[in-house]
Chains A and B, each alone.
Chain A
């Protein structure tokens, strides 16, 4: 019987072992552990956890099925709301969403909703249980731009409603940030991402890779020439930011996007692939978000000593607590309240170090976090051969600059209504990072859902 105050612990690879491989860190629950944990759910009538979920999964509903050992039924409950539960069970920040609202959490630990979701979804992948497809097709064509979390969710929902959906992807693999951004050790590509995308395909969604919208074809052409009646833009936020400090173009300075893309998408960590990666021996990762943790832990696995350089204190680290915890366990060194001033470059154009300055925290700024201030005269040099800039990303202007009548804000984010995803252009909807700037997988999925609903309403009303 489970301790009602505590989560059933989840098995993980030991830190000293996993620091040297790319296998998944968290091993997840088995059926016995999942059923044990499920008994902790109180099945609240007014379930607050559901309100905390951006795609409103019927959480007590699926946990009830787990309690009874009906895992297939549990999957059906989840798949009514989410197209990617095996992904979300792994990468959602449950601690600030569903689990944060769990009544159990008031006295003790909340129910481990994320790990239960993951167990159910993995069971469905292993046992080939599929979500229910559309009852009948309506023949109306909808295009979805981007095969990341928002695009896949929108496409899956539209397909279930009976639409004829085609997803266009610029890269050579499907999944967007799930394949180029999030590393294998957090989200296995073949076993989880590819298989969950197969389920979306099973709903009748078509995929066309290697199509850069705005270059290979424009949105206006999709609408006017290729017979699509509506378009959902889920193109993400792909443009990396740099600091603008001296030495940033030296060899050995990478955007986190480049470092992670080489390792995750191009599989540079595996010697049998052609794409190389300069892993570095001593690496500084600048930034404190989830992407910074991913880059740091990738560099560690490629054999480097890794420092995370972050200008605020540990409390302000934007990364999930679990990621920071895992990173520390694996031996990542955190240089907090430290900010880069200059990248030091040798005569061959390679990084030889970084000049940094100590910081202290002042009054709260617009984000509510205490503003970091330089401590005068506290500059010093650290010796590194690689610097990975993980300062965030912004949306790619490729689509907005080639679509007539599509409005963006000053940060180049597409302007769209939150409830429906509707943009300034008729028939064009958008959601995810392309609208909000870099955020989370689950928020993008929530926006994909809203977009599907918005498109459905638009096409129904138009055809009345």
Chain B
């Protein structure tokens, strides 16, 4: 069992937890992920690592309650435990193995969308601890949904917040901020790292391709085992089929087939919806989900 030491609500349906998992905490690096299975009947849920404490053996995870398992996970409190917690999985971010002096000469731009701020944080923090300050754009639908602003402020070079509805910071999509920074404010970047919903990463990549800005994305497809066994997470990257769980999750964004990846992530939409309905309505569920053949 893996004890939850802290459980917080960051925003609507967005939760942060510190989990005691010493083997994961001793080996993880920015860019990697874990899989959590809350109980006997839960799904194996892949989540990026938001932070880690090697001394205390803890991992910080951030997740959204969007499926049956994550909705039940959200109800857990400090003191409760997860049945299973495995990792670190996937490859660390590329810069971890780069020469630090060369890295210092690079201007790096991070673009986070929604809960994508969580996996961006440990990367920016790692760089900051080595004297490299990366610029960070965080996009959120509204002010209320914005997460980790204070934490990012401490470790980022410049932090640019934008909201879709203009309720906080700049107004509009992250792509318009990138355009502003590069085209109107004369900023130069050598590499961009974009993490967020697939649709956001797709449009960031379309833009950065035009700007000739090398872009790394972190893919979050459907997974089952997370160790290369099932192939559910396969992606078309250039001419090759890659498994996000073992080859990634980070890839050259200009090579990823986002349309295919988005279609693949819709695979279980109906089934997931059905699970949530079953969970919320319990015995009172009588169809309407389009699957179970209930009485309407």
Chain B residues with CB below 8 A from A266, complex form:
43-44, 224
A240 and B235 alpha carbons, distance in the complex (Å): 14
| A280 CB → nearest B CB, Å | 12
Contact of A257 among B37, B86, B229 (CB under 8 A): B229
Contact B227 A242 (CB under 8 A): no
Contact B260 A349 (CB under 8 A): yes
Contact A217 B27 (CB under 8 A): yes
A243 and B171 alpha carbons, distance in the complex (Å): 47
Q: Known contacts being A212-B89, A240-B230, is A398 close to B267, with CB within 8 Å?
A: no
| B47 CB → nearest A CB, Å | 14
Contact B230 A249 (CB under 8 A): no
Contact of A274 among B41, B227, B234, B260 (CB under 8 A): B41
| B283 CB → nearest A CB, Å | 13
Chain B residues with CB below 8 A from A277, complex form:
271
Chain A residues with CB below 8 A from B54, complex form:
none
Told that A266-B224, A349-B264 touch, could you supply 16 new A-B pairs with CB distance under 8 A?
Answer: A216-B27, A216-B88, A217-B26, A238-B227, A240-B230, A249-B241, A249-B260, A254-B231, A255-B231, A257-B230, A257-B231, A258-B224, A258-B230, A274-B43, A277-B271, A278-B268
A37 and B231 alpha carbons, distance in the complex (Å): 45
Main SS at interface, chain A: loop
| A158 CB → nearest B CB, Å | 23
Chain A residues with CB below 8 A from B241, complex form:
242, 248-249
Whether B218 sits at the interface, judged by CB under 8 Å, is: no
A217 and B26 alpha carbons, distance in the complex (Å): 9
Whether B225 sits at the interface, judged by CB under 8 Å, is: yes
A275 and B83 alpha carbons, distance in the complex (Å): 16
Q: Known contacts being A258-B232, A261-B225, A396-B227, is A274 close to B89, with CB within 8 Å?
A: no
The chain A residues found within 8 Å of chain B, CB to CB, are 170-172, 180, 209-212, 215-217, 238-240, 242, 248-249, 251, 254-255, 257-258, 261-262, 265-267, 271-278, 348-349, 396, 398
Contact A274 B86 (CB under 8 A): no
**Sample of 11 A–B contacts (CB below 8 Å):** A170-B86, A215-B89, A217-B23, A239-B228, A249-B241, A258-B224, A261-B225, A261-B229, A274-B41, A276-B268, A349-B266
A52 and B139 alpha carbons, distance in the complex (Å): 66
A216 and B25 alpha carbons, distance in the complex (Å): 9
A249 and B27 alpha carbons, distance in the complex (Å): 32
Q: Known contacts being A215-B87, A276-B268, is A348 close to B23, with CB within 8 Å?
A: no
The chain B residues found within 8 Å of chain A, CB to CB, are 23-24, 26-27, 37, 41-44, 67-69, 72, 83-89, 224-225, 227-232, 234-236, 241, 246, 260, 263-264, 266-268, 271-272, 274-275, 278
Contact B44 A172 (CB under 8 A): yes
Contact of A398 among B37, B227, B232 (CB under 8 A): B227
Contact A348 B230 (CB under 8 A): no
A251 and B41 alpha carbons, distance in the complex (Å): 25
Chain B residues with CB below 8 A from A170, complex form:
86, 225, 227
Contact B87 A249 (CB under 8 A): no
Which residue of chain B has the shortest Cβ distance to A248 in the bound complex? B241
Contact of A215 among B68, B69, B88 (CB under 8 A): B88
Contact A216 B41 (CB under 8 A): no
Chain B residues with CB below 8 A from A276, complex form:
268, 271-272, 274-275
Contact B228 A238 (CB under 8 A): yes
Contact B43 A255 (CB under 8 A): no
Chain B residues with CB below 8 A from A255, complex form:
230-231
Which residue of chain A has the shortest Cβ distance to B41 in the bound complex? A273
Chain A residues with CB below 8 A from B84, complex form:
172, 209-210
A267 and B274 alpha carbons, distance in the complex (Å): 16
B24, B229, B232, B235 pick with most chain A CB within 10 angstroms: B229
Q: Known contacts being A215-B27, A251-B266, A262-B224, is A274 close to B69, with CB within 8 Å?
A: yes
A257 and B231 alpha carbons, distance in the complex (Å): 8
Chain B residues with CB below 8 A from A180, complex form:
225, 229
Chain B residues with CB below 8 A from A258, complex form:
224, 230-232
| B71 CB → nearest A CB, Å | 10
Which residue of chain A has the shortest Cβ distance to B91 in the bound complex? A215
Chain B residues with CB below 8 A from A265, complex form:
225
